[in-house]
Each structure stands twice: as structure tokens, then as C-alpha cells.
Structure 1
């Protein structure tokens, strides 16, 4: 039987577990490579649970590797390449983008391509590849001793070139604010200092086949940047509301221009832009893989499209089914109290501990004119986790997914869906003195 190599980590695959069934429906065996962000004990726990889809996975159809390098990936898949007819390579996480892109291209299989994969893992390369879309930027010197001496465009943003999930992205008001932040970065990290762009933030998700955009949708984003130095995403709405046709054309055109500039081949892309008050479109970052958070779920609710099926079809060299939006869907992350996470309650909206359970709910689409509905409360953290600042995506804890007809008041529906959610925390136990510990 032919096979598809799926390269991922457990926290990402939890959103894409339908790939097992979809692969079998297409007559291909899914072979999984899990990366270093997958805890071995968590993987074993889910594989030992008869209720979890990974229970069906055979030992010979799984590899768990310790790093994301191309050499390590090649060692992991080499036996499969000798023994199986591998028809597709499908990467569904960020950290393997480059290695998976190189593997697919070397095998002559559909993928974004090695150039696009490399550029989409590095924000400096993105600015070099598409200068017309880039903000004003500079690369900090290696010594960083006079990091901001020659930069005169403040307020600005300091960001590492290769991290993800808003990690390390900080607002800086002036030159004096840069130096105190530098110890938070690795000595070998490339750091960008760039102009801070005022304007609404959007992402454009695309399905691309051999350089041709088959489908693209615009998602509006909310962040916690107001009143903080962070840029953590706190909400997504698909399709984006309150855009004029001209603004939609500008964003979709910028997305197409970027994909063309990096020679993007086949797969799903995720580009993030700011749209200024005078309709300037500025690239924030781009990814050569499916979007994070619940965005694929939002587009499924909004359009009825099965994006997991589309991902697999593209990897297999087939053209996926696409559809326009018929509803509007939203994910909103909630503020949480500080303390140890004890419980989450939500009235009649189902609560899913997706982090602990290692799987997300399916959330199938509903009829076009169905009333607004809260579909799920998603808890990404574990019982007992410490809840604190939401300084990046890993600091968030609870979100609500809902949808409504395109012409409905989604803000009112959001307020109703979130009103009944309560995040319960307890205070951490006080530290014990050495004397108390021996009593």
C-alpha cells in the first residue's frame, strides 16, 4: 500500500487527527514523525488509550525524533522510503517546515519548495524577498552593545527572526528600551528592530497548487498590544468583517505577491499583514504550513470546507474542493486570573481540555441560517498549570469558538458565548522552609 509521511508534533496533530481516516479513505497509509516538542510519556499515554485515534497506530508506522534537522528526518524516514511507496510528505507544524520542504522536493513530491520553506522560517529573509511589503527594518549588530544607536523610527518592535507564537516580540518606545530586553534572547539569535505599524492585523490563509492560489480567505486578528508591550493574538474572525472590497483586494493581492516572490509551490500558506489607515499593506510574517490556533476550524465552520482533506489532497497532487464563506466564525481567548488552573465551566457550551486529551473536537459546520452558536470551549493548558501573563501564545489558557450567519451581530454572540465561562484557579501552595520540609 502507498503511504503519506505526516511530520508534526502532538500538540499540532491534536487538531488534525482526521488525517488518519482521510488517508485511509484515499487508500494511503499515514506514517507519523513526531518531533522533540512531543513528550514521550504523553505520546505513549494517547497511544495506549483505545478512545484516542493514535491507538490505531502501529509501532512501525511511527518515529519519534529528538531534533528537527534534515539529517535526523532523513534517518527517521529512510527505512520507510526503502520499504514503502511514499506518495506524499505532509508537514503540519512550524518547526519541521524546512526539513519537510527539502524532503518533499528531493522526492519529487508536492510541497512548498525548499526556497519558500527556508524564507518562511526567517523574518529577515521575508523582508528581503518582498521588500515592497516590508516595514522599515534593521538587523541588530552581533555585539548589540549599541543596538539602537542608528535607529530613529520609534515606537518600534523588537523581534527574533526565527521564533513563532509571538515569542520574544516586544514593543519598544525609544532607544533606551532596547538594551534591557536583549538578555531575554539567545546570543546567536538574529534580532530585527522595525517600525511599529499602526493598523488592523489580518492573516490570509491560502491553498496553493504549483504556484497557483486555488483559494484564499482573510482572517481578522485581535491582540493584547493595547496597554502592554506584548503582541499575543487573542482572537481570530473568519472571514474578516468590516473590510471594503478594495481592502480585500489589497490584502489578497499582497498575499499573492508574497507567495510569488518566494516561489511557493504546493500546500497551505499563512501570511500575516497590517493594514494601515491609508490602506498600506505591510507584511508581519509568513508561514509555509497550516495556520495555528483554531483557524482551520473557523474556516470549516465558515465555508463547510474540510481543510484537513484539502491539505492531504494537495500533498497527494490532487486539487481540493473549495467553497466561499457562508457563515462567520470566531475564536476568542479569555483573560484569566492568576494562580493554578483548577477547572473551567461553561454552562451549556462543551468544555474540551485539548491539551490533556491530545485531541480537538471536530466542530462540523451547521446550516447557513442557523442561529449564532457557541460550539466549544477549548482549554489548551493542563490542570495545575500556573496562569500568568499572556506574553506569547503559550501563556494563553482558554478560548471559545462560535459562529453565526454572515449578517448577524457576531460581537453580541461573542458576549453571550463567553459570559457563562468561568476559569477557576487556586493559589499556589506557599513555599516550605527547610525546617517545615523535615517535620
Structure 2
């Protein structure tokens, strides 16, 4: 007689089903998912990914306490083994829920340091990591506190995500207007503003690091190139891995990222770190998120480069069933290159047409075209952040081919806008 062992279940908070990678990883890992969809997303229960066994509709932002109570009752009636999110603003809620229910998690204090840029900067600086000069602003009227920094500076919301509101101020003369503008943008988009960070601008190319921590061990999976955005706004454009870096620079990045995990207390789960190489050589962290990055894009990149199922490993850690050792601290040898081309808005107004995406869906190099904006949608000018029109995810034999493909996409994709008054 065989004993039936139920599949482990993990609650997945605010993940869009149009971004499939974490759902596919859950299926491969034999993990069932209870999906908490975003309130603004209509989810048809007859078209759910196979790994999703239940849908729980909660608004964690409108009524946090009520959402926690519903989760507690759900846990008592039909237990689950873990709770995760890939949506950065939900990281503190997930940590609190895991703590409340006694599930694996990073804890509320660690989540605060990984999500509040003011706390993150202070903790990284206290640990002696490379940190640009910075000032926290709890009120826009305090803008003069940042006037003594070395300019240019970057103003960003303490609890922002993607490139929402992030704006470069070239001189002290423009600082007040930039601070006011970012504050207003965040108030309108986020509903409230908890504060800003003003930090010295870091010259040098940008990179992203995908890592996995378990029991305090940190395994670096990939380092990817993310362009060299100059501002004044920082719209993301490319993500190509593995980055073409010397072994010395890779080692320096790995040391800095692992030290950041220790400084912030992140001992378990996936992380997505963004950094700049100041002067092209010295790593300075921009931020570290205690989640899989890009709503799952990091899973696509890391698995494409290494052959390791990043999200499956992360889900096993969340469910408390991870048994595979993370391996040595060195970067795995790449097996291929993977890339994400983030279609730039290149303008604002009402979208009339997006050219080039349909042809790419048939391109053998392309695995996914994930479209988020469509004709009729309105794109607001920066520093407001409407979202990205589309992701084009592709695999290549090497990084040179990925770079050549992105140069082709620069010409192949075009967005037509109507006049501003139409918006």
C-alpha cells in the first residue's frame, strides 16, 4: 500500500498570469499555487495556468489587516506551506503573513530593508559597502538637505518600483523643482508618499544580478548587462546575460552582492540586485530586491543562461522543502545567452499603432512577446510611469548575437502616437 503525499502549496501574491515563467516552474517542481491576483486584473478561472489550484481575491493595499485575517483563516481551513511574491511593493506584506503563520520567510524587518530605499542605503553604508552620498527626505520642503551632495543627483521614491518617478537633477538650482515633481508623481500614482531618497548619480554601466539564498548561503546565478542610462529619467531598455565582464570585475560584484545580503539579513529566497560599475570598474548597489525580478523575467534570464530552474528553487525554499545544495560561490558556467528587450515608449500620448511585434512572434530566436500596452492606451510623459509597451524575450548562442539582435529590434519596432490633445 502506498502512502499519498499531498503536493506542497504556495500562495503567490499579485502575479500576472500573462507572465508565465513562475507558473511553469511551479508545475515542474510539483508545487500547487494559490493565486492572489492583482485587483486591477480580471482573471478568468477557466484559463488559469495548470499549477494554480485556487484563486483568492484580496486587496492587500486597501485593507492589509483584513487580507491577513483572510489568509489566516484560509491557512487554518486548508493549510499551505509558503507564501511568495514577485511584486516588489508586496514584499513586506508577504513577510508579515509568513511571520504570522509561522511559514518560511525573511521577516518584516529584513523586508523593510529590502523594500525601503532609505533603510537599505543606511544599512549598506553601516556595513561599509560602496554607497553613494545620499540624503533621505521625509517632506518635499526639506529639499535643501540634499543641496550639499555632489551633483548631479538622482531623486527617487523610498518605496518606488521600476522607474516610477526616478529623476536626475543636474544642479542644486533644479533640485527643488525635481523633488516637487517626483513627490507629486508618486502621490498620484502610489496614493501616498512615504518619503524620497536623493543620492549622488553614479556614472557607469548598469548590471543586474540574480541570486538565490538558502540557510545563509548565497549562490550567484547570473550577471546581466542593463545598459548605461544617463537620465534625466531612467526608462529600462535591455537586459542581456551573461554580461561581458572580466573575471576580476565579476569577483568584485559577487563579493559586494554577498556582503549586501549579509548587511540586509537576507538568508533565504531569491534576490534581484541592480548595480552600477562606477567608472566602469567599481560596483555600487542601486538596490536589492528580495524577490524574483521583473515579474518573472529574471527566471527566464537565469534559467536560459545557466540551465538552473531559478523559480523552482525559490518556490521550494518558500515551501520549506528545499534540499538541493546551492553549490559553490562561483558563477555557473553559461550554457547560452538570454535577453529581454524592453520596448521603449519613445514618446507619449494615445497609442495609435505598435509596429513590428507580430513579425517577432514568428522569429525562431524569440520565445515570448509579452505585450502590456495596446493601441488606444495612453502613455503619460515621464516622470510619470505608464508601464512598458512590451517585452521581447529571446535566446542566443552567445552574448554577441543577443546584442546584434537588440540592435535589429531598435529599428524593427516603432510606436505611433496621436497628438497630445487626443490623450
Is TM more than 0.5 here? yes
Q: TM-score range by the shorter chain?
A: 0.7 to 0.9
Residue deviations 1:68-116, cap 9 Å, x none? Answer: 7652332121221211232122222112211211222343332223322
Q: Confirm or deny: 8 A CA contact 1:314 1:320 kept in the other structure.
A: no
- Bigger Rg over Cα: 1
Determine if contact 2:27/2:50 at 8 Å carries over to the other structure: no
Shift of 1:339: 4.4
User: Which residue of structure 1 lines up, in the alignment, with residue 200 of structure 2?
Assistant: 195
State whether residues 16 and 308 of structure 1, in contact with CA within 8 Å, keep that contact through their aligned partners in structure 2: no
Cα distance in 2 for residues equivalent to 1:315 and 1:340: 41
Q: Which deviations, in whole Å up to 9, do the C-alpha atoms of 1:324-377 show, x marking residues without a partner?
A: 4211122223344554333443464218xxxxxxxxxxxxxxxxxxx9823343
Distance 2:73 2:383 in 1: 42
Evaluate the alpha carbon distance shift between residue 181 and residue 292 of structure 1 in structure 2; reply closer, same or farther with a 3 A threshold: same
Quick one: distance in 2 between partners of 1:398 and 1:271?
A: 22
Q: Which residue of 1 aligns with 2:113?
A: 119
Partner of 2:335: 326
Is the contact between residue 388 and residue 395 of structure 1 (CA under 8 Å) also seen in structure 2?
no
SS at match of 1:89: strand
TM-score, with length taken from structure 1: 0.80
User: More displaced, 323-332 or 228-237?
Assistant: 323-332
Aligned pairs for 1:34-183 (under 5 A) are 34-35=37-38, 38-39=39-40, 42-44=41-43, 46-47=44-45, 50-53=46-49, 57-58=53-54, 61-65=55-59, 67=61, 70-131=64-125, 132-140=129-137, 142=139, 144=141, 147-148=144-145, 150-183=147-180
Aligned residues: 398
Q: Residue 85 of structure 1 aligns to a residue in which SS?
A: coil
1:164–1:430: structure 2 CA closer, same or farther, 3 Å change rule?
closer
Deviations 1:166-219 (A, max 9, x none): 212111111111111233314853222211111111121111112111343212
Aligned partner of 2:311 in structure 1 is: 308
Structure 2 vs 1, CA of residues 120 and 149 (structure 1 numbering), >3 Å: closer, same or farther?
closer
Contact in 2 for aligned 1:271/1:285 (Cα 8 Å): yes
Contact 2:365 2:394 in 1 (8 A): yes
Counterpart pick for 1:15 among 19, 24, 41? 19
Q: Does 1:253 align with 2:252?
A: no
Change (3 A) 1:17 1:72: farther
1:6-31 per-position Cα deviation (integer Å, ceiling 9, x unaligned): 232243x4324653x65566665422
Select 1:387's aligned residue among 356, 359, 379: 379
Partner residue of 1:435?
A: none
Structure 1 residues 408 and 235: alpha-carbon distance in aligned structure 2, compared to 1, 3 A threshold: closer
- Structure 1: how far apart are the matches of 2:365 and 2:20? 23
> Residues 429 and 229 (structure 1 numbering): CA distance in 2 closer, same or farther, change over 3 Å?
closer
**2:367 aligned with 1:375, yes or no?**
yes
Could you say if the C-alpha distance between residues 413 and 145 of structure 1 is closer, same or farther in structure 2, counting changes exceeding 3 Å?
Answer: closer
Do the aligned partners of 1:205 and 1:270 also contact (CA within 8 Å) in 2? Answer: yes
Q: Deviations over 1:28-55 (max 9, x none)?
A: 54222234xx32xx424x33xx444389
- Contact 1:63–1:76 (8 Å) recurs in 2: no
Residue of 360, 369, 373 corresponding to 1:349: 360
Distance 1:389 1:162 in 2: 21
1:3–1:31 contact (8 Å) kept in structure 2: no
Give the equivalent residue in structure 1 for 2:3: none
Cα–Cα, structure 1 residues 279 and 372, in superposed 2: closer, same or farther, change >3 Å? farther
- Aligned-residue Cα RMSD (Å) equals 3.1
1:283 deviates by 1.6
Give secondary structure in 1 for the equivalent of 2:313.
helix
Residue 282 of structure 1, CA deviation: 1.3
8 Å CA contact retained: 1:98, 1:117 = yes
CA distance in 1, matches of 2:30, 2:339: 34
Inter-CA distance 23–349: structure 2 relative to 1 (3 Å threshold): closer
1:212 to 212, 217, 232: 217
Q: Is the 8 A contact 1:113 1:263 kept in 2?
A: no
Residues 305 and 348 (structure 1 numbering): CA distance in 2 closer, same or farther, change over 3 Å? farther
**Whole-angstrom CA distance in 2 between matches of 1:143 and 1:128:** 20
Runs of at least 5 residues in structure 1 that lack an aligned partner in the other structure: 352-370, 432-439
> Aligned with 2:233: secondary structure?
coil
Deviates more, 1:116-125 or 1:342-351: 342-351
**Structure 1 contact 223–231 (Cα < 8 Å) conserved:** no
Question: Deviation per CA, 1:118-173, whole angstroms, max 9, x where unpaired?
Answer: 10111111111111232111123636255257514111111221111121211111
Contact 1:3-1:85 at 8 Å conserved across structures = no
TM-score, normalising length: structure 2: 0.83
**1:401 lines up with 2:393 in the alignment:** yes
Give the C-alpha shift of residue 289 in structure 1: 0.8
Where 1:64 maps in the other structure, the secondary structure is: coil
How far off its partner does 1:275 sit? Answer: 1.0
